[in-house]
Amino acid sequence: MIGLFDAIKVGGGAILGASLIAGPVYLYGKSAGKSEAAVAALETSVKALRERSATDDEISRSDLAGLCRHLGLSDEDQRECVRRLAEAQHEAGDGPVRHDE
């Protein structure tokens, strides 16, 4: 009977030891997972902001015809787009209307 009691104590001690180790390991893994998710979200945000900045730069450098081409309009719709943008630019007083666009 003494051998069985010792085996139960050893088994109980092993279970208790495993429980004490598993808790912190679980919490560390959970924390590491949250950190990885936050880093991935930040990288995605930075990539989106860089792409948006590149698009903003491209549009800022474009003339009226370039803006309308960027929209993927047909030739006829591009001419109408240029006309309307030029008219809006003139009405807003953003500078002279250039008819070479």
- pLDDT tens-digit map of 65-74: 888 888 888 8
Average pLDDT value for the chain: 83
Has this prediction a pTM greater than 0.75?
A: no
Q: Which two tokens stand for residue 71?
A: 């929209």
Q: pLDDT grade, residue 98 (50/70/90)?
A: low
pLDDT at 26: 85
pLDDT at 101: 47
pLDDT at 50: 94
Q: Which residue from 97, 99, 91, 101 is spatially nearest to 69, judged by alpha carbons?
A: 101
Condensed to tens digits (0 to 9), the pLDDT of residues 8-52 reads 888 888 888 888 888 888 888 888 889 999 999 999 999 999 999
Return all residues near 89 (Cβ < 8 A) that are at least 6 apart.
64, 95, 97
